[in-house]
Structure 1
Amino acid sequence: MNNDSITVIVALKYPDLMRKVFKMLMPIYCAVFLSACSSNYLMTFNGENVKKDEDKGTFSFDNDTLQIDYSFADRDGRIYLRIENKIDKPILWDLKSSALVINGKAVGYSAEKADFNGKVNASVSNIDTRNTTLFNDAWVNGYIKGSVSLPKDVVLIPPHAYVDGHYFDFKNDVKAIVRSSRKEKVYMYDMNGESYAVKLARFEGAESPYSLRSYLSYSILEDGKAVPKTTEQRFYAAQLWQTGAVALNNIIELYNRRGDVVAVKEKKGQGAMIVGGALALTAVAAAIDPKEEQ
């Protein structure tokens, strides 16, 4: 007798029990399904007053004094900025007077707080000379050491040198903007040539729901004087896409580390599988308990 025959006999003989088991197993199936769900949120940028390398996806602004390069391909969802001094005079980049304007809100390039990292190595002793539990004193002896990273308000860029760094965090913005935007279903191809489903939205310029303005303030040191200058580069989200049908590493744009794409991965349903699955298993055990049928 095979398993299918056994299932039919049990279903005919104990219909109420089978209905109970089926009802209690549904949360397990739902939990397992949810645990397998994950969403990839991606944002592709275009620039308005910058040159774009179409092969690498990076952006560049160039004048007689500076070359400024941007990339959004950082793994932590940050923007990479590189500033090169092209002249024979030193340049001072004023971070405190520079900002990234995100949808109209200015966020400074200079940090507003100092983080301290350290450790304590200590011992605790109780002083009790009268053999009583009253008025015991606790003394802590030890030391603490660490380092403080202070914000740099001004950065010197010597002649024909450059500085670079990673700034801000776009992860939450990417998820929020992609989720809230109206998208259509399309299909793309991954690194293996397999098609996968994507929810996609496209925008041009002022229509974009996400815009950036990188406002930089700097000074040229000349004859003992600082000549102030400013420059601004503008970007906007041209594509918003969401997919859970492919791993991030298999998306062509990310595999090639294009500088115009930022991606965020979000896993869902892990807690639902653990809690819901445990409750469902307990309920099933109760459902098939012979005491219940008596």
Structure 2
Amino acid sequence: MSNYLKKYLPLFFLLPFLFSCTTHYISQWQNYDEESTLADDGTVMIKNDTIGVSHAFNNQDGTVLVRIENYSQTPILINLTKSALTINGKTFGYVDGKSTISGWLDTFGSANGGQVGSFGGEIVGKPNTLFVPPLSYVEGSFANIQPEVRNIVGNRFIGNQTYYPLFNYPINTNLVFYEDSKSPMKLNSFINYSLIDSNNNPIITKTVNQNFYLSGFFKVRNMGQKELNQNLLTREDLGSYSITKGQGAGLILFLGGLIGLAAIAADVEE
């Protein structure tokens, strides 16, 4: 390899990164239930003598993590078909009705020119109910809210550029805060549960309602994905999504640079 290639080739490998830019959009959710309780770990939850329900928004896939605790000596059955989450009145079921199909598929031609086939395998569906024994808890991730956040806030985001201690240290961010009455997004969660007897018959059925609103929105550029993910682990009130732009231009320059270097190397060898 010529001295030209040795000198300039590393630079072209960096081009896709130099011309790409990742922007992180971070949403902050606040609970506005008067009867809500702050747990020892900082989680906001609705709590009574029987049940405790809390929500976390920091899942990387955009789903909401729901934790349901049974404080009673009686088993509880959570009916997900009668539970739902709403964003600005639009309902998102905790059960999406989708199933996973696994197995094998055989097809072969028929005399009439068509195709027939056979399938062998199994269809696995998500549970419609959750059983919570006495003095225990259950967790599940449901309802991807990321597309709604991007649609409602992301395209019309206008904020102020400043340094703000979002993760206990100042970061350069474009931010906006919302009051309850002026928030562009209201999120309401409804969890239907029943106390059941030894024969799994409902003794009493109730619904726990928990309410949130979008209280802040932040746009951050000077932070890597790994650093962001680590910071979010300790902030259940924050959700995020990231958008990377410019990778295509960087790749084109990268390929063009390789072609140019190849031409230079050929000239030097001649």
The interval holding the TM-score normalised by the smaller chain is 0.7 to 0.9
Deviation, structure 1 residue 190: 8.4
Secondary structure, aligned partner of 2:149: helix
Residue type of the alignment partner of 2:149: V
Q: Partner of 2:54 in structure 1?
A: 69
Deviation, structure 1 residue 199: 0.9
CA gap of 1:188–1:252, structure 2 versus 1, over 3 A, is farther
Q: Partner of 1:47 in structure 2?
A: 31
Percent identity over the alignment is 27
| Map 1:94-133 → 2, pairs under 5 A | 94-120=79-105
1:156 aligns with 2:140: no
Deviation, structure 1 residue 159: 2.1
Secondary structure, aligned partner of 2:83: strand
Deviations 1:255-275 (A, max 9, x none): 552111112121112123334
Distance 1:192 1:232 in 2: 31
Secondary structure, aligned partner of 1:96: helix
1:264 aligns with 2:241: yes
| Map 1:19-98 → 2, pairs under 5 A | 35-49=19-33, 50-52=36-38, 57-98=42-83
Deviation, structure 1 residue 239: 0.9
**Matched-pair contact (CA < 8 Å) for 1:100–1:215:** yes
Distance 1:192 1:90 in 2: 40
1:187 aligns with 2:163: yes
Deviation, structure 1 residue 280: 10
CA gap of 1:123–1:249, structure 2 versus 1, over 3 A, is closer
Residue type of the alignment partner of 1:43: S
**Matched-pair contact (CA < 8 Å) for 1:191–1:251:** no
Report which stretch shifted further, 247-256 or 86-95.
247-256
Secondary structure, aligned partner of 1:258: coil
1:174 aligns with 2:149: yes
CA gap of 1:205–1:123, structure 2 versus 1, over 3 A, is closer
Distance 1:160 1:228 in 2: 18
Distance 1:43 1:90 in 2: 35
Choose which of 210, 217, 224 in structure 2 pairs with 1:233. 210
Q: Partner of 1:19 in structure 2?
A: none
Deviation, structure 1 residue 34: 7.9
**Matched-pair contact (CA < 8 Å) for 2:58–2:232:** no
Deviations 1:163-222 (A, max 9, x none): 2111111222333313413211111368896x5421101012121111110011122225
Distance 1:79 1:226 in 2: 29
When Rg is computed on C-alpha atoms for both structures, the one with the higher figure is 1
Deviations 1:204-246 (A, max 9, x none): 2121111110011122225855322111000111110112122
Distance 1:56 1:145 in 2: 47
Unaligned runs of 5+ in 2: 1-14, 260-270
Secondary structure, aligned partner of 1:235: strand
Distance 2:215 2:124 in 1: 36
Secondary structure, aligned partner of 1:74: coil
Distance 1:123 1:218 in 2: 46
Secondary structure, aligned partner of 1:88: coil
**Matched-pair contact (CA < 8 Å) for 1:36–1:268:** yes
| Map 1:236-255 → 2, pairs under 5 A | 236-251=213-228, 254=231
Distance 1:202 1:139 in 2: 59
**Matched-pair contact (CA < 8 Å) for 1:80–1:167:** yes
So what's the TM-score if we normalise by structure 1?
0.69
So what's the TM-score if we normalise by structure 2?
0.74
In the alignment of these two chains, the number of paired residues is: 242
| CA RMSD after TM alignment | 3.6
